[in-house]
């Protein structure tokens, strides 16, 4: 890697080339060999190089860049494929959802496991404690809420609290 390549990366955001995943022209490859693509449904999608307002509802502004990126491919209610980059260390499970902080906005979003397209890949990267933590059931939530509201306690309440320390 020469100085010229380095400077080119710096000014162009990477070497231009066709995306190897989806074929979109004008994808970029940086010095580390990572592909960045402006196609919102591509696995290499990077909103930073996408044209503004390019027909996507994915928020493209923000400065949150996960140190440990976890890519989640997701089919939304409308049947559209979306890709989200989460910070791996901030993902937790809430019932049947994974909740996490997403690039680039740093917003917290919640994704149903049922619609995660690469679920096994995602779960293999998450700590087992996160994957198996299924959160309080509706009944348990009711009990928790009741005692919190009334400032009371019960053996069952204590048991549920011990199960879900948050």
User: For residues 146 and 140, is the Cβ–Cβ distance under 8 A?
Assistant: no
Q: Which of 29, 26, 30 is nearest to 39 (CA)?
A: 26
Decide if residue 37 touches Zn ion (CB under 5 A).
yes
> At its nearest, how many Å lie between Zn ion and the CB of residue 34?
12
> At its nearest, how many Å lie between Zn ion and the CB of residue 26?
10
**Residues 28, 29, 36, 39: which binds Zn ion (CB under 5 A)?**
39
Decide if residue 22 touches Zn ion (CB under 5 A).
yes
Decide if residue 125 touches Zn ion (CB under 5 A).
no
Decide if residue 71 touches Zn ion (CB under 5 A).
no
Q: Which of 29, 47, 27 is nearest to 37 (CA)?
A: 27
**16 versus 163: smaller Cβ distance to Zn ion:** 16
**39 versus 125: smaller Cβ distance to Zn ion:** 39
> Rounded distance, CA 53 to CA 156, Å?
52
Sign of the CA dihedral with 104 first, then 75, 30, and 124 last: positive
Q: Which residues pair with 111 in a beta bridge?
A: 98
Decide if residue 91 touches Zn ion (CB under 5 A).
no
**Number of residues engaging Zn ion in binding (CB under 5 A):** 8
Contact partners, residue 85, CB within 8 Å, separation at least 6: 66, 69, 70, 71, 72, 102, 103
**85 versus 160: smaller Cβ distance to Zn ion:** 85
> At its nearest, how many Å lie between Zn ion and the CB of residue 6?
24
DSSP string, 101-115: EETTTTEEEEEEGGG
> At its nearest, how many Å lie between Zn ion and the CB of residue 35?
7
Site residues for Zn ion per CB under 5 A: 19, 21-22, 24, 37, 39, 42, 44
């Amino acid at each position: 890697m020469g100085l010229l390549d380095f400077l080119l990366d710096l000014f162009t955001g990477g070497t231009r080339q066709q995306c190897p995943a989806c074929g979109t022209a004008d994808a970029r490859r940086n010095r580390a060999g990572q592909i960045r693509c402006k196609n919102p449904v591509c696995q290499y999608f990077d909103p930073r190089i996408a044209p503004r307002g390019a027909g996507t509802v994915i928020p493209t502004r923000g400065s949150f860049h996960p140190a440990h990126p976890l890519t989640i491919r997701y089919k939304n209610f409308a049947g559209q494929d979306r890709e989200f980059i989460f910070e791996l260390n901030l993902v937790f499970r809430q019932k049947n959802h994974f909740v996490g902080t997403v690039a680039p906005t740093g917003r917290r979003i919640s994704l149903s496991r049922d619609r995660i397209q690469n679920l096994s890949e995602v779960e293999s990267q998450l700590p087992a404690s996160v994957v198996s933590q299924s959160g309080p059931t509706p009944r348990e939530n009711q009990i928790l809420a009741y005692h919190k509201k009334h400032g009371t306690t019960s053996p069952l309440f204590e048991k549920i609290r011990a199960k879900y320390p948050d």
